[in-house]
Structure 1
Amino acid sequence: MVSLPDQFVKTQEAAAMPEPHPALLMFIGARYVEQRVADAVVAAGYTDLTPAMGRVAARLSEDGIRVTELAEQARITKQSASVLVDQLERGAYVERVPDPADARARLVVIAPRGREVQRVARREERAIAREWTRHLGAERMAALQAALSDLREITDPYR
């Protein structure tokens, strides 16, 4: 068996993280929720929604939002956002309405069918929160929620 120099072994040990980075752990949890919600939406009969459409729709605000803002928040191109909004509009999940602040601009607003999907998604999100609370306990779940909310102050420019 070949023995490695001590310096090489120490460098390799220092490079290896003992635990996954917190951001990776958050990503894993977020993807889990996203998949569960998508599965619930499909099970409720909304089979024409793609994950990309869902990510864009999740960024809709109550007052509506311009496609350029949606693109920026979703970190996709304006062209990609436009295509996804077109698909959502064809599925009757969103509508484009005149922007009261600028007659030349249009806002994307959630349509009644989109509200139905939103109710399905929120119901599944609440179920996941209950499961996580049972697993972690109420105190640790509250601490997790508080810590993640605090992190938004430095990570979410759209909060």
Structure 2
Amino acid sequence: MDRPHPGLLMFIGARYVEQRVAEAVAAAGYDDLTPAMARVAARLGEDGSRVTDLAAQARITKQSASVLVDQLERAAYVVRVPDPGDARARLVVLAPRGRAVQRVARREEAAIEREWAAHLGAERMAVLQDALTALREITDPYR
């Protein structure tokens, strides 16, 4: 193979973003947030998510997702609330501390995007964004 597979190149970029965001989050004082906890929290829907959905999206067992949600809850990043659509179920939603760390992560993500745009140029960055967005149609069952 003359050059790396596009999937590998996307993974390298995603790993870079994950590391930069983790460093920014830790520097902001949220050093108790483990990578596993962050990966589950990042999958929370705006109106909350069920543990089973988080497990499926993170590709982990329901038991593992439950343990991670317990850890997130103990650290005050999330809370569990009744699901308005099903009285028997509970939703996991971001708590105020979780929203605060989310703002730190979004700022770092925006900084990375600006750096990449400066490196690639606006036109190439737009093409990259369009191509990756189009690939979601065939790669992301949770889009």
Answer whether TM exceeds 0.5 for this pair. Answer: yes
1:23 to 3, 7, 11: 7
Separation in 2, partners of 1:145, 1:76: 28
2:40 is equivalent to residue 47 of structure 1: no
Q: Cα RMSD (Å) of the superposition?
A: 0.4
Separation in 1, partners of 2:81, 2:100: 19
Separation in 1, partners of 2:84, 2:142: 21
Partner of 2:59: 75
Separation in 1, partners of 2:47, 2:108: 24
One-letter amino acid matched to 1:126: A
- The alpha-carbon deviation at position 61 of structure 1 amounts to 0.7
> SS in structure 2 opposite 1:48?
coil
> SS in structure 2 opposite 1:133?
helix
2:140 is equivalent to residue 152 of structure 1: no
Structure 1: give runs of 5+ residues left out of the alignment.
1-16
Partner of 1:10: none
- The alpha-carbon deviation at position 116 of structure 1 amounts to 0.2
2:78 to 94, 104, 124: 94
Partner of 2:49: 65
Over alpha carbons, which structure has the higher Rg?
1
Partner of 1:108: 92
Structure 1 residue ranges, 4+ long, deviating more than 6 angstroms after superposition: none
- The alpha-carbon deviation at position 36 of structure 1 amounts to 0.1
User: Sequence identity of aligned pairs in percent?
Assistant: 83
The CA deviation string for residues 97-116 of structure 1, in whole angstroms up to 9 with x for no partner, is 00011111100001100000
The CA deviation string for residues 99-140 of structure 1, in whole angstroms up to 9 with x for no partner, is 011111100001100000000000000000000001000000
Separation in 2, partners of 1:98, 1:110: 14
- The alpha-carbon deviation at position 141 of structure 1 amounts to 0.4
> SS in structure 2 opposite 1:47?
coil
> SS in structure 1 opposite 2:101?
helix
Number of positions where the alignment pairs a residue of Structure 1 with one of Structure 2: 143
One-letter amino acid matched to 1:48: D
Partner of 2:120: 136
- The alpha-carbon deviation at position 145 of structure 1 amounts to 0.4
